[in-house]
Chain A
Amino acid sequence: MTGIEHLQQTFAALRERQEKALVTYVTAGDPDLTTTARLMQTMAQSGADIIELGVPFSDPSADGPVIQRASTRALANGTGLAEILHLVSAARPGLSTPVVLMSYYNPVLQYGLTRFCQEAAAAGVAGVIIPDLPVEEAGALLAAAIPRGIAVIPLVAPTSTTQRLAKIVAVAQGFIYCVTVTGITGTSQSVTEEIAGLSRQLRELTELPLVAGFGIATPDQAARVAQYTDGVVVGSALVRLVEQQGENSLQAVDQLTRELKNVLVGKNW
């Protein structure tokens, strides 16, 4: 099964159960890769439907301070793309949850786009999210990813024009990552106003699942945003737990993941 098929299957099953997807994010290598592996298992068992693994970067200009600090810690441990791909590969046998990588473009570019997509596909990575790679610049990555079944998951923003949305959904695979606010990760207060309009526009353009992220921290926020989308991403709130408790954060991560998933099931959406 390719990565794209894995994501399709996941969303099909969720639809069948009338659930919304919970995507949980952690930065790989924070505080160390062993803990990351355990966090992935924990999140999968506690209800995460997709795991988003952050590839640390020295200059994460689309992220807020929480994920920025996580990147710094992971880089201090020498976490690189090769180790992260190895981590996913090692986790894969016991993990049915799809894993997508979130990386800034330069680490992937320097690794080599073809090499990256080959190794990612072999490791069982389902897709990749690159926040500083708009559709206009994504041609080379798409050419390397599509033949290997890796989903290039695009981001759309509240500022995206209808024209741009059409251009983006034309090349999207897996799902579409809707940025809920104009802003950076982990900092917003109110998240529902922008996403309502954005999802309405997107539903007319595509049948791909819509997943919203940036600034969703609590079950209450997740439930409100999920009215408009097929799922939500929670990142900084989980990374903050890892920051506070390090390798002892499993229990807290388990609890938050359960609380989040809880509000995404059994509702008459």
Chain B
Amino acid sequence: MLPDKRGYFGAYGGRFVPETLMPALEELTQAYQQAQQDAAFQREVSYYLKHYVGRPSPVYRAAALSKKIGGADIYLKREDLNHTGAHKINNTVGQLLLARRMGKKRIVAETGAGQHGVATATVAALLGLQCVVYMGEEDIYRQSPNVFRMRLLGAEVVKVSSGSGTLKDAMNEAMRDWVTNVRNTFYVIGSVAGPHPYPVMVRNFQAIIGEEAREQMLAQRGALPDCVVACVGGGSNAMGIFYHFLPLQEVKLVGVEAGGLGLHTEQHAATLNAGRPGVLHGAYSYLLQDVAGQVRPVHSISAGLDYPGVGPEHSYLKDSGRVQYITATDEEALEAFHLLARTEGILPALESSHALAGAIKLAAQMNKQQSILVCLSGRGDKDVPTVAKTMGVELI
């Protein structure tokens, strides 16, 4: 299946990086291909996913939430129950085992919400690898519990103050580090973004989400879901849950982007809804940019969605029409957050709250015989300070 040899999904993807990194990407591509064909490596990944991460994560029928909405039956794929609290760990287990196999002793990563940073720091600690995580100043402030967690795990967290001090700037800084230390360093990208082979590699490590969910839906409900919904920043949890449903045309697939303060403002991160193709961070993909090709500042209440780009496979799926991309605003995401907390006793991550908000809108238009599967990509513990702030509550 996709992508082609040069890493293109249709028109999107490729490798737009300094020459210094090209040999490293070639080396990585080769090492990953070999690892994929190596049963011992696959067994190793499976072992850690089962016994360390806690897979398979459950699919849970959210009966009370569904009843409250009065439409389609909503199911949640509980990636929030993974070790470290999000889907990010699936990918970091895979990439860090690959890094160790390649003999790389030093790991760099960038993080927005901190979930990828925590997952990387966790597996680096597990495998005894040195770990440096770049994080935007603004995000360090928004996600302070995760910053402390990374430090407890032995990682060095580097504050990035350039640009908007968010995920894209952290990614620039991680790339600068990688260019400088490319000979001994492995760059762990946390989304289906970046230069080839990252988009396909991260998608493959995350595809276990949808693979499990498809079987679980069939076992529990006796039918495929009518609709699968996931949030899209860079888009790794979405690609993970969509991938095994892509050939099943009867299943509608919906990605939910961060609508921020609304698409009529410039304060959003809805790349596929409001951007156009361009090159950033190593790939040709949809991008929020001005007329001159300068990357636009973006906004989302959720640090993990606060990104002006998107993985190239999503751009391809948007153009082909196989996946529909909609938006949820900060406010809608917060409403969904509170609703799930009250009806089901689950605090979702603000990223996942966007998916939930999208699903709630869709469910209301569907009937009780239909079902929606939502990727609950992470838990909301990290977002408690942000949510408290929106409520005017001061935490001690």
Contact = CB atoms under 8 A, between A and B. Distances in A.
Interface of A: 57-62, 64-65, 68, 75, 80-81, 104-111, 131-134, 136-137, 154-161, 164, 168, 179, 182-184, 187
Nearest to A187: B180
A136 B182 contact: no
B365 interface: no
Given A75-B294, A80-B292, A132-B282, 12 more contacts: A58-B295, A59-B169, A105-B16, A106-B289, A109-B279, A132-B279, A136-B15, A136-B22, A155-B18, A159-B19, A179-B20, A183-B180
Given A61-B176, A62-B179, A164 B23 contact: yes
Contact of A109 (B26, B179, B180, B293): B293
B17 interface: yes
Contacts of A133: 16
B368 interface: no
Given A61-B176, A182-B179, A182-B182, A107 B294 contact: yes
B18 A81 contact: no
A32 to B, nearest CB: 17
Interface of B: 6, 14-24, 26, 162-163, 168-169, 171-172, 175-176, 179-183, 278-282, 287, 289, 291-295
| Secondary structure dominating the interface of B | mixed
A104 B282 CA distance: 11
B280 A156 contact: no
A168 B16 CA distance: 15
A159 B293 contact: no
B179 A105 contact: no
B163 A157 contact: no
Residue of A68, A107, A182 contacting most chain B CB atoms (<10 Å): A182
A132 B295 contact: no
Nearest to A133: B16
Residue of A108, A133, A156, A159 contacting most chain B CB atoms (<10 Å): A159
8 contacts: A57-B294, A59-B163, A62-B18, A68-B162, A106-B293, A134-B18, A157-B18, A157-B20
A80 to B, nearest CB: 5
Given A59-B163, A61-B175, A137-B14, A168 B293 contact: no
A119 B347 CA distance: 56
B281 A61 contact: yes
Nearest to B282: A132
A59 B282 CA distance: 12
Residue of B162, B171, B176, B180 contacting most chain A CB atoms (<10 Å): B176
Contacts of A182: 20, 179-183
A131 B176 CA distance: 13
B209 to A, nearest CB: 30
B20 A132 contact: no
B23 A137 contact: no
Contacts of B289: 106, 110
A184 B19 contact: no
B77 to A, nearest CB: 33
B19 A179 contact: yes
Nearest to A57: B294
Contacts of B180: 182-184, 187
A156 B19 contact: yes
A59 B168 contact: yes
A58 B179 CA distance: 19
A107 B18 contact: no
